[in-house]
Amino acid sequence: MGSLRAILKHPDDLYPLVKLKIAARHAEKQIPPEPHWGFCYTMLHKVSRSFALVIQQLDTDLRDAVCIFYLVLRALDTVEDDTSIATDVKVPILMAFHRHLYDREWHFSCGAKEYKVLMDEFHHVSTAFLELERSYQEAIEDITMRMGAGMAKFICKEVETTDDYDEYCHYVAGLVGLGLSKLFHASGKEDLPPDTLSNSMGLFLQKTNIIRDYLEDINEIPKSRMFWPRQIWSKYVNKLEDLKYEENSVKAVQCLNDMVTNALIHVEDSLKYMSALRDPAIFRFCAIPQIMAIGTLALCYNNIQVFRGVVKMRRGLTAKVIDRTKTMSDVYGDFYDFSRLLKSKVDDSDPNAKITKERLETILKICRNSGSLNKRKSYIIRSEPRYNSTMIVIIFIILAILLAYLSATRPRLVLWKSLCH
């Protein structure tokens, strides 16, 4: 019902949403027949939802390498995240994870739901890893080793300063950027960019996740996970968890805005990184999460809901970003729109208003100087829904056709499968 209301409010979300749904169904039917590759691609769709579709559009060799890299990182993350594993068990696993990639027998049971399946059946991932070209294996092994060591370091260390924060984000996300750049280079499709730019791509995504996931992380059972740096939150409250209490709402939002302002530092490098990409599929793969990140920051800024529940971009807007991101002009356009939206939310009474506005102005200037803004139509900033009664009738007819189509294809698929067996 919530999604129907969202579609009525944003009727032009419907087309990209339907397109995304059809693409997802198509991708699910293209799962490779070999059991280990079949497992890896099925798992990828389960753990990364829409992002799996973007991976699927890469050329075969690179796509397989990225799929394995993604699953290895998710597995490493599952070990790091599982707060029920004792430190003396966890640290050696993280440190040796890169070696386990070469051992088809290795597995370690932890995590929940689909992540538990990933961990229990990890032999499929290592079997697939061993079939990758050596240059891809080396890149994945090197990053897994450095990330595991970094995670182990932060098991026993709190994120105190903003330097610690950058260091932690480097291990868990900046290194992903370095690894992906190596994979792109190994595929022969891209030059190797400076490490600082690859690092910033990851830091921008991870800092956005850390901001958005405050409540989920603080409420983690049996133990909170805390990634917001003390150097920032201690300006507003005595304990990080105090931000979620209603009496601290004003301070909480100021602290949140400080965190968003910190994340904005990485935008300039990220835009530079993306503007140097040549392959259209690699470009889309990199650009879509970055646009989602600036969109999420615009949504979170000055928004007390971050401390009350889940704040996420609506599915229709995600579908639009996936559908329409093709060139660097699209990226500049979306960064421009979201930065303007963010700037409109800055209140002069906020302690960091000046620096936030300066950082946003730098981004807006880069986008303007790209010279590509006037060639596009903004689909992000639109205050009123543009629909009338005819539009609503059309939407209902399309939805009815879609529902009929979806329910008609299901039994036929089952029948088709049973005929094949």
Which residues belong to the active site? 168, 212, 225, 285
Among 216, 208, 207, which residue's Cα sits nearest to residue 310?
216
Considering only 37, 39, 69, 168, the residue that binds ligand IN0 (CB under 6 A) is 69
User: Which positions from 153 through 182 interact with ligand IN0, judged by CB under 6 A?
Assistant: 172-173, 176-177, 180
CB–CB of 79/94 below 8 Å? yes
Please identify, using beta-carbon distances, which residue of 217 and 242 lies nearer to ligand IN0: 217
Between 47 and 110, name the residue whose CB sits nearer to ligand IN0.
47
Angle at 52 between CA 47 and CA 57, to 5 degrees: 165
Q: How does DSSP classify residue 310?
A: -
Per-position x/- string for 11-50, each x denoting binding to ligand IN0 as judged by CB under 6 A, each - no binding: -------------------------------------xxx
Of 100 and 284, CB closest to ligand IN0: 284
Residue 286 makes contact with ligand IN0 by CB under 6 A: yes
Q: Which stretch binds ligand IN0 (CB under 6 A): 67-75, 94-102, 248-256, 363-371?
A: 67-75
Q: How far apart are CA 240 and CA 214, in angstroms?
A: 10
> Of 154, 148, 160, 170, which Cα lies nearest the Cα of 78?
148
For ligand IN0, the binding residues in 232-271 under the rule CB under 6 A are none
Counting DSSP H helices and E strands in the chain, the numbers are: 21, 0
The CB-of-170 to ligand IN0 minimum distance in angstroms stands at 11
Give which of 240, 236, 198 is closest to 215, Cα–Cα. 240
Helices (H), 13-133: 14-29, 35-48, 50-56, 60-81, 87-100, 113-120, 122-129
Q: Is residue 119 at the binding interface for ligand IN0, with CB under 6 A as the rule?
A: no
Name which of 73 and 319 has its Cβ closer to ligand IN0: 73
Distance CA 177, CA 171 (A): 10
Q: Is 333 in the site for ligand IN0 (CB under 6 A)?
A: no
x/- mask, ligand IN0, residues 196-235, rule CB under 6 A, reads: -----xx--xx--x--------------------------
In angstroms, the CA 231 to CA 239 distance is 12
Residue from 289, 327, 343, 398 binding ligand IN0 (CB under 6 A): 289
Q: How far is CA 214 from the centre of its chain?
A: 16
State which residue has the least CB distance to ligand IN0. Answer: 51
